[in-house]
């Protein structure tokens, strides 16, 4: 890590935390619960309160093993020491803007500022649905916080926008990185809803499958040194991480635009006006 990236890191983390508390609940599938909350989500797609229970019902069952395996390495502990809080790093746009132009840092700031987003904003939104019994003071908590905090980085690196199809593609990409069944379920269910509503010939499911393959080809992002990634030219970084530009997602957008449909609204202008 060079001095330029080191200035972004906040204070060090505690060294005496256990890797994984034995009191953490064992991840279990609850398909009826997932289906119930998904049906409620379909009724009101803006009701984000229905999303967290779906992830509780369809968790990443190998998450604890992945966390412990990574945290048991010297590399993980070095990253943990230099990056105790990705939120603090990612929301310091003044420091990020000092990194080289063309780097992931600048692409990230451009994206977040354009979309009116912040890393802390995502934390605040998800904390609305987090119960007191879901907080654990162990090193695995640091690992799982990175699952949350790298979401927008995945948008930028993968090339998928925040449109309806882009969000489904990011879910599929994320499934291959962090295989919570909820990611796969929501990604393909969302793709089905787009296909059903649009009655389109655009390659919706193909785009989602392509995103899933892209995520599998990429090393697990939460286990990468984010400070180092932020300082790297984005094109060079995508090549290093085996992330190729999405083809079918862009093809779907091109088909919609040719029909006068904005991919970020997915309704023809005359229908939106009604």
| Burial class of residue 3 (count of CB atoms within 10 Å of its CB; 0-12, 13-18, 19+) | exposed
Average pLDDT over residues 147-168: 95
Convert 174-198 to b/e letters by CB count within 10 Å (16 or more is b): bbbbbbbbbbbbbbbebbeebeeeb
Better pLDDT: 49 or 111: 111
Per-residue pLDDT band at 219 (split at 50, 70, 90): very high
Whether pLDDT at 271 is above 60: no
pTM of the model: 0.88
CA distance 16 to 70: 17
CA distance 71 to 204: 37
CA distance 36 to 194: 20
The sign of the dihedral angle between the CA atoms of 166, 148, 104, 113 is positive
Strand partners, 233: 103
Summarised one tens digit per residue, pLDDT across range 6-40 is 344 444 455 679 999 999 999 999 999 999 998 89
Taking CA atoms, 31 is separated from 34, 57, 182, 213, in Å, by 5, 7, 10, 25
Whether pLDDT at 118 is above 70: yes
Summarised one tens digit per residue, pLDDT across range 128-140 is 877 766 778 999 9
């Amino acid at each position: 890590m060079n001095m330029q990236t080191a200035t972004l890191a906040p204070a060090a983390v505690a060294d005496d935390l256990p890797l994984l508390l034995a009191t953490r609940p064992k991840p279990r599938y609850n398909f009826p619960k997932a289906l119930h909350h998904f049906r409620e989500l379909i009724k009101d797609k803006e009701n984000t309160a229905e999303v967290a229970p779906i992830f509780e019902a369809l968790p990443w069952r190998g998450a604890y093993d992945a966390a412990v395996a990574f945290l048991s390495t010297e590399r993980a502990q070095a990253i943990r020491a230099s990056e105790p809080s990705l939120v603090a790093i990612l929301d310091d746009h003044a420091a990020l803007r000092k990194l080289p132009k063309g780097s992931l840092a600048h692409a990230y700031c451009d994206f977040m500022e354009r979309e009116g987003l912040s890393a802390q904003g995502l934390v605040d939104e998800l904390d609305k649905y987090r119960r007191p019994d879901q907080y654990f003071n162990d090193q695995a908590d640091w690992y799982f916080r990175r699952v949350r905090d790298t979401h927008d980085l995945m948008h930028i690196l993968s090339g998928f926008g925040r449109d309806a199809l882009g969000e489904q593609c990011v879910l599929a990409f994320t499934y291959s990185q962090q295989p919570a069944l909820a990611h796969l379920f929501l990604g393909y269910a969302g793709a089905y809803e787009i296909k059903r509503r649009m009655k389109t010939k655009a390659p919706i499911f193909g785009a989602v499958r392509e995103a899933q393959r892209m995520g599998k080809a990429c090393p697990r992002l939460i286990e990468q040194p984010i400070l180092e990634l932020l300082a790297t030219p984005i094109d060079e970084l995508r090549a290093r991480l085996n992330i190729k530009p999405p083809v079918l997602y862009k093809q779907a957008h091109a088909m919609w635009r040719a029909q006068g449909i904005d991919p970020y609204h997915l309704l023809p202008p005359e229908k939106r006006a009604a």
